[in-house]
Copies of this chain bind each other. A is one copy, B any other.
Amino acid sequence: MARKIGKQTVVFDKNIAILNSACCVGKVEGEGPLSSTFDLHFEDDYLGQKTYEAAESEMIKQAISKVLKKSQISQSDIDIAITGDLLDQSIASTFAIKDFCLPHFSVFSACSASALEMGIGAIFIESGAAKHALCTASSHFCTAERQFRFPLTYGSKRTPNSQRTVTGAGAFLLAENKNAPQIKAVTFGKIKDYDITDANNMGAAMAPAAADTIKTYLEDTSKRLEDFDLILTGDLGKIGSKLVVELLKKEGIDISKQHDDCGLIIFDLNDEKCVAGGSGCGCSASVFAGHIMQKLKNGEIKKMLFCATGALLSPTSQNQGLSIPSVAHLVEIEGCKL
């Protein structure tokens, strides 16, 4: 049985593992510092499809096929598929999953999808409802820009604090197993709204949510920061990463030594295309599925917190001038060789 502890945290009893993961990314990501950690990277942003949306679906499909192959299981072994993307009505995931014939639902929690899905998937396994849970999260620079900001063909200039949506998809296979990275606990986040309205400054919008979830996890579990090799946020980028450290310092929590952010490490930040770092569901998903999973499997990371962050804006809420409420969900992960 799982146990709810404190205000928002669930601790697992079973050995719930991320058995395998896979990730596919686009050209810019494939040329970045984490190049060697991705399973596949594509030169063509269309992946041979007619639209960018179809290209995003294709990335998800490739990531799923890859993780099934690595795990040597077939799609009929999957009890539940949980997916998440940024597009209206989760359409990238829908058109990917429909070809796999899997029991399925999508979550929407913006770029916090990867950690959220790991938490939900772990609960499915803990309850006995699933032996194998498949989680995917994706984003595509071209689908996100058109939807949330401007069509690319406008060629609009990027602001200095704007993050680049990662073209990438990650897939994770969860199952009960002792010999793979373990999901020990999940903290489901609450929505925080600091009245940021600028869709080009999402790091600032999301930082308070990340700070709140990390603080809540530490209070709920009475764990100490020294217990962790790494506290990894999802896609706060340059500005949000500074802010989350500052916000937590005010609460007497200094994460500066252990903190890193997927949005900071996926791109070469000297590249003018990637001014303030990466963002998107595919950012944390592909960094975790590749780079981080390698380190968890080879024992380089022993204990970590993965806190994925989501900016819950929509084109409609932006057009109406509303603020950007944000949320962060956190999973506690242990590496293989403790």
User: Could you tell me the distance between the alpha carbons of A244 and B142 in the complex, rounded to whole angstroms?
Assistant: 39
Mark interface residues in A1-31 (1 if CB within 8 Å of B CB, else 0).
Answer: 1111001101000000000000000000000
Q: Are A105 and B188 in contact (CB under 8 A)?
A: yes
A109-B110 in contact given A123-B124, A312-B91 (Cβ < 8 Å) = no
Q: Is chain A's binding surface mostly helix, strand, loop or mixed?
A: mixed
Q: Are B316 and A130 in contact (CB under 8 A)?
A: no
Q: Which residue of B lies closest to A125 (CB)?
A: B127
- Residues from chain B with a CB closer than 8 A to the CB of A33 are none
User: Could you tell me the distance between the alpha carbons of A314 and B146 in the complex, rounded to whole angstroms?
Assistant: 15
Q: Are A128 and B312 in contact (CB under 8 A)?
A: no
Please state the number of chain copies in the assembly: 2
Q: Are B103 and A8 in contact (CB under 8 A)?
A: yes
A3-B128 in contact given A103-B8, A190-B101 (Cβ < 8 Å) = yes
Which 6 pairs between the two chains have the least Cβ-Cβ distance? Answer: A127-B127, A89-B314, A103-B188, A1-B128, A98-B191, A88-B88
- Extra inter-chain contacts (20) besides given A98-B191, A98-B193, A147-B316, CB under 8 Å: A2-B128, A2-B129, A3-B128, A4-B79, A10-B127, A10-B129, A53-B320, A86-B89, A88-B89, A88-B316, A89-B108, A91-B317, A101-B190, A103-B188, A103-B189, A104-B191, A105-B327, A108-B108, A126-B129, A127-B127
A-B contacts, 14 of them at CB < 8 A, read A3-B128, A4-B129, A8-B103, A86-B89, A89-B108, A91-B313, A97-B191, A101-B191, A105-B120, A105-B188, A106-B108, A106-B109, A107-B108, A123-B127
